[in-house]
A = this chain, B = another copy of it.
Amino acid sequence: MPRRTIYHAVTERLEILDEHGNIDPELDPHLTAEQLLALYRTMVRMRLFDQKGLNLQRQGRMGTWGSLQGQEASQAGMALAMEPQDWLTPSFREHGLMEAIGVPMRQIYAFWRGDGRGAIYPPHVNCLPQAVPVGTQFLHATGIGLALKKRGERAAVVGCGGDGATSEGDFHEAMNFAGVFQTNTVFFIQNNQWAISLPFNRQTASETIAQKAHAYGIPGIQVDGNDALAVYVASREALERARSGGGPTLIECLTYRLRDHTTADDHTRYRSADEVAEWQKRDPIDRMFAFLAGSGVWNDEREAALRTAINQEVEAEVEKFEQMSPPPPSDIFDYFYEVMPWNLKEQREQLLTEVARC
């Protein structure tokens, strides 16, 4: 070999639960039944809460809605691995993960209806508001991870994004800074194989997203994103490394978006029904159900009870959501600066006068 190899590394993939719900005994993380059920409940809650969002939108009671269906294992697996002191910088499709770590559903519904108050989260939840400009929030995860590291906190930050988000320059800069400063950051990519109409193989020529970690000298791993156990194990490992000052990790969850990009989209324009059907067979919830049923801790009856209970919870949240008073017009101005400058004061006055007149 005349050319000398100077870099040699591999990218690995982790799968624990197969498509039929069979577990790899060697890799079994040995979660307690309680943990397993919590994981499952979280996934089902995501599905039903999300479906309600779609229904509300269809009924004209909601703005746009970007469904996460198909990605429940990814979001629930990460949620289970996170600890209360950890931070989250979500993109626009992480409402499942956000809800799982403590953001009330009604807030998320409100956000998507176009109510700024939807971004009010409970004080104990360290979560930035959803970021709409794709990929730009990764840098906040780098900065927060650097802050945590500087203060020596045993905490990590999870920076979320999709396959499309990895094409933005900010993803690159965030990964590179995180590598150089060894920040307490986990880059969590849900590769659902589509960025609106662009399939993954036109998004990048690299075979995986996980291998992009080689460009930054940090660990990267691909997991089966429809396998909640695999996601949990990889997330726990990466979070633990980050919390203990071991630096950043890139996690790629290979999963699939089962629905339209958002309610403004029509996915039949660009992808085949066959492809969707193929992935429907790999539904992350079905898989977990099969596993739990196989382990004897779950059955159809319990499932029915769970769904009833969650639907009640969702309906209760919807009720609160729909009872929210409209935001006052002054909200446009009131949170913009610590001290309101003269021009905003004048304009606020002008608007309130106008509103009073009508």
A residues at B contact (CB < 8 Å): 2-15, 24, 26-27, 167-173, 176, 179-180, 182, 202-208, 210-212, 214-218, 221-222
Contacts and interface: CB of A to CB of B under 8 A. Distances in A.
Nearest to A167: B176
Contact of A206 (B26, B182, B216): B216
Contacts of A171: 172
A43 to B, nearest CB: 23
Given A180-B202, A205-B216, A4 B12 contact: yes
Nearest to A10: B5
Given A4-B12, A169-B169, A214 B215 contact: yes
Majority DSSP secondary structure for residues of A touching B: mixed
A14 B3 contact: yes
B4 A7 contact: no
A207 B176 CA distance: 12
A215 B217 contact: no
Contacts of A15: 4
Given A7-B211, A211-B7, A204 B176 contact: yes
B217 A9 contact: no
Contacts of A26: 2
Given A2-B24, A14-B3, A173-B169, A9 B179 contact: no
A351 to B, nearest CB: 35
Nearest to A218: B205
| 10 closest Cβ pairs, A-B complex | A169-B169, A179-B205, A205-B217, A172-B172, A7-B11, A215-B215, A3-B12, A212-B215, A206-B217, A214-B214
A187 to B, nearest CB: 13
Given A5-B11, A7-B10, A180 B205 contact: yes
Nearest to A177: B167
A9 B8 contact: yes
Nearest to A4: B13
Contact of A217 (B11, B176, B207): B207
A204 B213 CA distance: 12
Contacts of A182: 205
Query: Taking each of A5, A12, A207, which has the highest tally of chain B beta carbons within 10 Å of its own beta carbon?
Result: A12
Given A3-B13, A5-B10, A210-B7, A180 B204 contact: yes
A167 B212 CA distance: 14
Contacts of A207: 6-7, 217
Contacts of A180: 202-205
Contacts of A221: 3
A205 B246 CA distance: 13
Given A5-B12, A172-B173, A176-B205, 17 more contacts: A3-B12, A3-B13, A4-B12, A5-B11, A6-B11, A6-B208, A6-B222, A7-B10, A7-B208, A8-B9, A9-B9, A169-B172, A172-B172, A180-B205, A204-B216, A205-B216, A214-B215
Contacts of A8: 8-11
A9 B6 contact: no
Nearest to A14: B3
A24 B4 CA distance: 13
Nearest to A5: B10
A170 B169 contact: yes
